Amino acid sequence: MIWNTMEEPISERLRNNKELNFVVDNNPLMYNPRTGDTALVVDVFIVDPLCDYPDGGEDEDRFVNYVTNEEYKKDWSVDLDGEGWIWLEQQGVTND
């Protein structure tokens, strides 16, 4: 599976249990073509969906810690998708 072809490449990969394990074990890189930034994924946390969140937080179920050249950052996976982040590498397991 090429995760960058998905509508939400970061979130959809992190919702696949095999891929989630791969990401946590291997700390892959993300790339933002809009800004030219790269980032190393440090940790991913599974959280209960935020059904009472005013902006439709029911999709916010993965929280990501990552490092860019400038700083250590934290964000929801759906926000990373919204900012245009994609996977820099395509290694990993398949979605079979």
**Does 20 fall in a domain?**
yes
Q: In Å, what is the CA distance from 58 to each residue of 10, 31, 51, 54, 78?
A: 16, 25, 5, 10, 10
Confidence of residue 9 (pLDDT cuts 50, 70, 90): very high
**Does 12 fall in a domain?**
yes
Question: Per-residue pLDDT tens for 59-72?
Answer: 668 999 999 999 99
**Does 72 fall in a domain?**
yes
Domain that holds residue 17: 3-87
Whether this prediction's pTM lies above 0.75 is answered by yes
**Does 93 fall in a domain?**
no
Per the structure, the count of domains in the chain is 1
**Does 64 fall in a domain?**
yes
**Does 95 fall in a domain?**
no
